[in-house]
Structure 1
Amino acid sequence: MAISLYAVVPAIRYTEAGLRSVSTNLLETATQLGCTPLQSMVLVQLPTARPALLLGLNQVVMAAITMLPVAATVGTSELGQQIYIALGKADAGLGITAGVVFCLVAINLDRILRGVAERLRSTK
């Protein structure tokens, strides 16, 4: 729960920044064409702010992954716990293995999100 609350902050900030960066000319044009505020949001603001939204999603994932080893100090039982155990026992093998897996998970998630962003960008 704490990781989720910690990680959602970048998404909120990037979403706000993305929606605020939509050109007033686009919004005015949508209004002149008869769009309701909901239609303007769904059809104009969200597609225009898509890069900022994807960046926010990427930052949420990376922030959540980064917090896993920290959460291990309060007794969680996932990959972060393995890193914490390795630190406590001064076990270099376990520490390196857990650290490499941790990095590979982060890299793979980043690559997946980049692929989704490229696919969305190419469908414009």
Structure 2
Amino acid sequence: MLVGGLLGVAAAKSDRFSAVLKPVCDALQTMPQFIFLIPALMFFQVGELTGLIATALYAIVPPIRYVEYGIRSVPADLVETSRQIGCTAWQRLLHVELPVAKPVVVLGVNQTIMAALSMLPVAALVGTKDLGQQVYIALSKADAGQGLVAGLSIALVAMISDRIMRATVSNADGVLD
């Protein structure tokens, strides 16, 4: 999320960087999940690190796109007002643009979590030891009960994180009004 967010901020501030980054994001977003395992396996051995790298590559697109969109959609009058009162570029970013873009950025965090959770069963193919591994084990044993419990656990983690993100945005709405 941090790397994607920083890339999103850079893309929002530079049209040239955004133009270079957009086809990369398009390519990453359209590739099947299994494809992310191949370059990770080429450079690293089977294990947790490979699964983490493949998951990070798959989940990096939402924060880039949402942060860029959020910052670009800040009203121009707010940006101009902050310039007129003497804010530096960093002050404008930290105290004006990011707080106004917070609902969109939080949505990007939510989508990043969802993408990472959807990658768990795929990353289990390279030896990760998490809920995705439990889905993989259940699949290999044709154990519907274990697979259902593991899949529902992943879905429950996703729903809990979604509720936390919604609460974050709804609490922020009261502060910003």
**TM-score, scaled relative to structure 2:** 0.66
Over the matched positions of the two proteins, sequence identity in percent amounts to: 53
Matched, 1:5 2:60: no
Q: Distance in 1 between matches of 2:153 and 2:97?
A: 38
Aligned to 2:100: 48
2:116 maps to 64
Query: Deviating runs (4+, > 6 A) in structure 1?
Result: none
For 2:78, which of 26, 29, 46 is the aligned residue? 26
Q: Distance in 1 between matches of 2:154 and 2:91?
A: 41
TM-score (norm 1): 0.93
Give the distance between the partners of 1:73 and 1:119, measured in 2 at CA.
39
Does the CA-based 8 Å contact 2:66-2:107 persist in structure 1?
Answer: yes
Tell me how far apart the structure 2 counterparts of residues 24 and 72 of structure 1 sit (CA, whole Å): 46
Superposed CA offset, 1:33-84 (max 9, x none): 2212111111211111111110110011111001001111121111001101
- 2: CA distance, partners of 1:50 / 1:12: 14
The two structures, once aligned, show a CA RMSD in angstroms of 1.2
1:78 maps to: 130
- Unpaired runs of 5+ residues, structure 1, are none
In structure 1, the residue matched to 2:48 is none
Q: Which amino acid aligns with 2:56?
A: S
